[in-house]
Structure 1
Amino acid sequence: MRIAVVNNFFPPRPGGSSHLADHLAKRYAAAGHEVLVLTASYQNAAAQEIRDGMTIIRIPAWTLPKNRFAANFDIGFTTSPRTKRRVFAILDEFAPDVIHQHGQFFDLTWITGWWARRRRVPTLLSIHTRLESPLSRVNDFIYAMADRVMVVPMMRLHRPRLVVMDILMDRYVDKRYRRSAGGKVVIPVGIDPLVLRGGDASVAHAKLGFSDRHIVLSIGHVIPQRSRIALVEALPEILEEYPDIAVVVIGGVYHDEFLHVAKRLGVEHAIIALGALPQREIPDYLAAADMEVHELEGIGFGTASLEALAVGIPVVAAIETNNFIDVLVEDGRELFLVDSVGSTDARADPHSLAAALKRVLRDPAHARSVVGENAKAFIDEHFTIDRVAAKHLEVLGEMASAR
Structure 2
Amino acid sequence: MAQAAGPAEGRNMRIVVVNNFFPPRVGGSAHMSASLAEQYAADGHEVLAVTAAYGDAPAEEEKHGYRVVRLPAMKMPQIGLSIDFDMTFSSVRPGNWRKLRKLLDEFKPDAVHLHGQFFDLSWMAGLYARRRGIPVVLTIHTLLISEKKLYGAVFRFLDACLVRPILGIIKPRYVILDKLGVDYCVQRYKTSDANSDYYPIAVDTEHFEKPLTKDVRAENEIGDAPLIVSLGHVIPLRNRLPLVEAMPGILEKHPDTKVVVVGRVYHDAFLKRAEELGVRDAFIVKGAVPKDDVPAYFDAADIVTHDLNGGCGTASLEAMLSGTATIASAALDNYPGIELRNGENILFVPPDDPAAVRETVVELLDDPVKREAIAKRQSAMVRDNFGLDVVAGEHLRTFEKLVAEKAGKDG
TM-score by length of 1: 0.94
Q: Structure 1 residue aligned with 2:125, among 97, 106, 112?
A: 112
Find the counterpart in structure 2 of residue 399 from structure 1: 402
2:207 alignment partner AA: V
The structural deviation recorded for 1:181 is: 11
Find the counterpart in structure 1 of residue 371 from structure 2: 367
| Alpha-carbon displacement from aligned partner over 1:26-73 (angstroms, at most 9, x marks no partner) | 111111111111000110111011122211110001111122125541
The structural deviation recorded for 1:193 is: 2.1
Question: Given that residues 102 and 109 in structure 1 are in contact (C-alpha distance below 8 angstroms), is that contact kept between their aligned partners in structure 2?
Answer: yes
Find the counterpart in structure 2 of residue 171 from structure 1: 183
Question: Given that residues 304 and 319 in structure 2 are in contact (C-alpha distance below 8 angstroms), is that contact kept between their aligned partners in structure 1?
Answer: yes
Are residues 1:320 and 2:331 paired?
Answer: yes
Q: Which protein, 1 or 2, shows the higher relative CO under an 8 Å CA cutoff with sep ≥ 6? A: 2
Q: Structure 2 residue aligned with 1:89, among 99, 102, 115?
A: 102
The structural deviation recorded for 1:94 is: 0.9
1:86 alignment partner AA: K
Cα distance in 2, alignment partners of residues 285 and 114 from structure 1: 41
1:171 alignment partner AA: D
The structural deviation recorded for 1:391 is: 0.4
Alignment length, in residue pairs?
A: 393
Cα distance in 1, alignment partners of residues 322 and 211 from structure 2: 9
Question: Given that residues 38 and 57 in structure 1 are in contact (C-alpha distance below 8 angstroms), is that contact kept between their aligned partners in structure 2?
Answer: yes
The structural deviation recorded for 1:194 is: 2.7
Are residues 1:354 and 2:362 paired?
Answer: no
Find the counterpart in structure 1 of residue 145 from structure 2: 132
Greater CA deviation, 381-390 or 177-186? 177-186
Are residues 1:208 and 2:211 paired?
Answer: no
Question: Given that residues 230 and 259 in structure 2 are in contact (C-alpha distance below 8 angstroms), is that contact kept between their aligned partners in structure 1?
Answer: yes
| Alpha-carbon displacement from aligned partner over 1:117-143 (angstroms, at most 9, x marks no partner) | 211111000000110012x11111111
Change (3 A) 1:323 1:365: same
1:227 alignment partner AA: N
Any unmatched runs of 5+ in structure 2?
1-12, 407-411
2:61 alignment partner AA: E
The structural deviation recorded for 1:14 is: 0.5
Find the counterpart in structure 2 of residue 344 from structure 1: none
| Alpha-carbon displacement from aligned partner over 1:337-372 (angstroms, at most 9, x marks no partner) | 21x3xxxxxx3311111000001001012211x111
Cα distance in 2, alignment partners of residues 169 and 179 from structure 1: 11
Q: Secondary structure in 2 aligned to 1:55? A: strand
The structural deviation recorded for 1:182 is: 7.2
Q: Secondary structure in 2 aligned to 1:253? A: coil
Cα distance in 2, alignment partners of residues 355 and 36 from structure 1: 47
Q: Structure 2 residue aligned with 1:377, among 380, 384, 397?
A: 380
Are residues 1:387 and 2:400 paired?
Answer: no
TM-score by length of 2: 0.93
Find the counterpart in structure 2 of residue 43 from structure 1: 55
Question: Given that residues 201 and 287 in structure 1 are in contact (C-alpha distance below 8 angstroms), is that contact kept between their aligned partners in structure 2?
Answer: no
Find the counterpart in structure 2 of residue 343 from structure 1: none
Cα distance in 2, alignment partners of residues 67 and 266 from structure 1: 30
Question: Given that residues 293 and 316 in structure 1 are in contact (C-alpha distance below 8 angstroms), is that contact kept between their aligned partners in structure 2?
Answer: yes
1:263 alignment partner AA: E
Question: Given that residues 239 and 270 in structure 2 are in contact (C-alpha distance below 8 angstroms), is that contact kept between their aligned partners in structure 1?
Answer: yes
1:83 alignment partner AA: N
Q: Secondary structure in 1 aligned to 2:215? A: helix
Q: Secondary structure in 2 aligned to 1:348? A: coil
2:98 alignment partner AA: R
1:150 alignment partner AA: L
Question: Given that residues 78 and 108 in structure 1 are in contact (C-alpha distance below 8 angstroms), is that contact kept between their aligned partners in structure 2?
Answer: yes
Are residues 1:337 and 2:348 paired?
Answer: yes
Change (3 A) 1:246 1:70: same
Q: Structure 2 residue aligned with 1:123, among 121, 136, 139?
A: 136
| Alpha-carbon displacement from aligned partner over 1:56-112 (angstroms, at most 9, x marks no partner) | 110001111122125541001112231111111111111101100000000000111
Q: Secondary structure in 2 aligned to 1:337? A: coil
Q: Structure 1 residue aligned with 2:275, among 260, 263, 280?
A: 263
Cα distance in 2, alignment partners of residues 178 and 89 from structure 1: 33
Give % identity.
39
The structural deviation recorded for 1:200 is: 4.7
Cα distance in 1, alignment partners of residues 211 and 313 from structure 2: 21
The structural deviation recorded for 1:186 is: 0.6
Greater CA deviation, 213-222 or 194-203? 194-203
The structural deviation recorded for 1:394 is: 0.3
Q: Structure 2 residue aligned with 1:289, among 301, 317, 325?
A: 301
Change (3 A) 1:348 1:199: farther
Question: Given that residues 155 and 180 in structure 1 are in contact (C-alpha distance below 8 angstroms), is that contact kept between their aligned partners in structure 2?
Answer: no
Question: Given that residues 310 and 375 in structure 1 are in contact (C-alpha distance below 8 angstroms), is that contact kept between their aligned partners in structure 2?
Answer: yes
